[in-house]
Amino acid sequence: MQTGGTKRNPRNNNIKKLSIRVASGTLKGRKLDCPPGEIRPMTSMCKQALFNIMFGRKEMEMLDLFSGSASISIEGYSRGMVKSADVVEGDYGKKVVLNGNIDRLGLTGKIRPIISDAFAYIRRCAKKYDFIMLDPPFKMENKQSLLELLEEKKLLKDNGIIVMHAKYTDPFDEQIGELVQTDYRRYGINVLVYYQWEKDIIIDETEENENV
């Protein structure tokens, strides 16, 4: 007969924490824990492609929606591309790990965690950003509605960029109000979709023509 003590599920002892590492920059090699629950970290190929395409952008103020472990914001900071970031995560269960990653790497005050629904945050936000990253769950439908709300609330600064990480079967219009799709890259089942303000694209094209 068993008396006293607490029963333990032996299977729990076999659960390993998932972790990833910063790929480049001042924090290269530092470990980031992945939060429990549903999480799908961006593949290393996608992440490398994201920052390669954005090469040359520096000191950006970033909004990271559906941030999970904050790995994209931290990677951007490590590379000198991101000056500060508001990382928004709607799952309260991810808060401890999210805060732990930020504290352990000495990024408190630079990477700011916000536990909130992404749509609710966009609606109440009065701040503008140079770089807005969206990494919603693959199973989420109508991801374009996030872009439509961002366009309506005008949270993107002039010459800023929005990047959506999604599944290749997700549909996205080439133009959403004043936002224009400037790039679309597929990596297996993953896609990165880039948007900028239409007026910024027109200015860029005019400058190129003047330099010919």
pLDDT tens digit sequence for 1-34:
444 443 444 444 444 567 889 999 999 999 999 8
> What are the distances in angstroms from CA 130 to CA 25, 124, 184?
20, 18, 19
Strands of the chain, DSSP E: 19-21, 31-33, 60-65, 82-89, 111-115, 129-134, 156-167, 175-176, 179-187, 190-197
pLDDT for the residue numbered 5: 44
Locate 114 and state its tokens: 């916000």
**pTM of the prediction?**
0.86
Give the number of other Cβ atoms within 10 Å of residue 4's Cβ.
4
From CA 133, how far away is CA 71, in angstroms rounded?
12
**Contact residues for 162 (Cβ-Cβ < 8 A; gap 6+):** 131, 132, 133, 134, 147, 150, 156, 179, 194, 195, 196
From CA 58, how far away is CA 97, in angstroms rounded?
27
207 vs 29, residue with greater confidence: 29
Span 70-96, average pLDDT: 95
Span 108-123, average pLDDT: 97
Q: How would residue 185 be classed by pLDDT, with cut points 50, 70 and 90?
A: very high
pLDDT tens digit sequence for 105-114:
999 999 999 9
pLDDT at 155 over 80: yes
> What are the distances in angstroms from CA 127 to CA 39, 85, 90, 132, 149?
27, 12, 19, 12, 14
pLDDT at 145 over 60: yes
Minimum mean pLDDT range among 93-97, 144-148, 157-161, 193-197 = 93-97
Span 37-56, average pLDDT: 81
Closest CA to 32 of 4, 82, 73: 73
91-130 per-residue burial string, b: 16 or more CB within 10 A, e: under 16:
beebeebbeebbeebebeeebbbbbbebeebbeebeeebb
DSSP annotation of 79 reads T
